[in-house]
Amino acid sequence: MGGNLPSTLAAFAAALAVLIVVHEYGHYVVARLCGVKVLRFSVGFGRPLWTWRRGPDRTEWVLAAFPFGGYVKMLDEREGEVPAAEAHRSFNRQSLGRRSLIVAAGPAANFLLAIVLYWLLFMQGVTELRPVLGAPSPNSPAAHAAVAEGELVRAVSGKVVATWSEVRWEAMRLTLDGRPIELEVINPRGEIAFRRLATAGLDPAALEGDVLRPLGLKLFRPLLKPVIGSVVADGPAARAGIRVGDEVVVIGGRPVRDWSEVAGRIREAGDRPLDIELSREGHRLEVAVTPVMVEEQGRRFGRIGIGVREDPAAFEAMRVVVSYGPLDSAARALRLTWETSALTLRMMGRLLTGELSWKNISGPVTIADYAGQSARLGADHFLRFLALISISLGVLNLLPVPVLDGGHLLYYFAELLKGGPLSERAMEIGQQIGLSLLFLLMAFALYNDINRLVSG
């Protein structure tokens, strides 16, 4: 996070506030519609920091000290004495159907938020990368399918796509199913061709990073001149005297033609010293730089702290703005929310069966980092992040784990089968199991967060 810590924390706080308020407001609205009296609406847990009362029932609205969650407290005879005149407004006096609706309303509100956000984004238009393919990795499914650099993807297994993110999404879904990926492409000569990528032999661990990498699918990147556009202060390059505007001519005794060769050779060098020949204002000079080793997604490579001078025209040609009408946007928003929910459940299932590593679970630090990054990229990126996290929160809360909304729905299903409520002892045991499972999940998430911070 570094120097972006204030903006990261602000973005995380905003995301938390929206998600918690929407979720709890879902419970609140449906409870009121069902005639249940709401005593307290709390954002956060623990000691109240700010309290005020409003509404005909003088509901207590609270902002509490611990912000990771919230709750709606309703009138309930199991939690205290209730005046006879208001007994009919107690939660426990409601029918099984009404109680189920009130509990399910929180996750439903999260799904509705995602649908609304996606609908707005699809209508206003989002800037994406065009799905132009780069040269595939050697011996990859893409290479075996004869994918060629410069081909534009028109459809993935019959589904028309307009952006690179859509290609990535469809490839992930098909890879999870173990189904082949059928690409309909237009080559640089304007000819339509079809490429079939096999996915059955891929290691399930391939899904833990970028699913397109093991497939060999790469985004086309315009050739950029090897001119340095940024130098990290006090990094290896800065200490060696490299400046913004220098053009890299030779690295390790071999000439370079574009920036990808510069980046590739620095990565390959690891922490071995490199001799770099530069062109500066018409003069040649040589510097010696020792890269530092960094690790990302389990891979270690060298880095010297430089960035390329971007070519705005080249990158503009790779961008496309996609937008749709109100009805089409609504249909796309519904479909994307449904597909994302289903994919989230499937990934959770693979975690439980051991097909995916538990290292994929992210905690509050990682989520905060993503919130900050998306906010810095622009409002549309932040809203997409918010929609995705809202879906994840909705799915998580529907899991049949006691203390979650899904656990309460599980109790009600058992009550339906049994013909009466479960015993207090059974519910107490369920609560203990649920709390243990949540504690275990939080421990894994925090461990992964700390591990990511330590490994950089």
CA distances from 125 to 331, 381, 411 (A): 15, 12, 43
Residues 406, 398 contacting (CB under 8 angstroms): yes
Tokens 């080249």 identify what position?
314
Q: Is 85 exposed, middle or buried (0-12, 13-18, 19+ CB in 10 A)?
A: exposed
Closest listed residue to residue 183, CA positions, set 229, 227, 136, 226: 136
Q: Is 95 exposed, middle or buried (0-12, 13-18, 19+ CB in 10 A)?
A: exposed
Residues 69, 60 contacting (CB under 8 angstroms): no
Distance CA 116, CA 121 (A): 9
CB neighbours of 128 closer than 8 A, spacing ≥ 6?
A: 162, 163, 164, 165, 319, 320, 321, 322
Alpha helices in 125-274 (DSSP H): 141-144, 164-177, 212-215, 236-239, 259-269
The residue annotated as part of the active site, out of 24, 151, 166, 170, is: 24
Distance CA 80, CA 132 (A): 64
Is 295 an active-site residue? no
Annotated active-site positions, please? 24
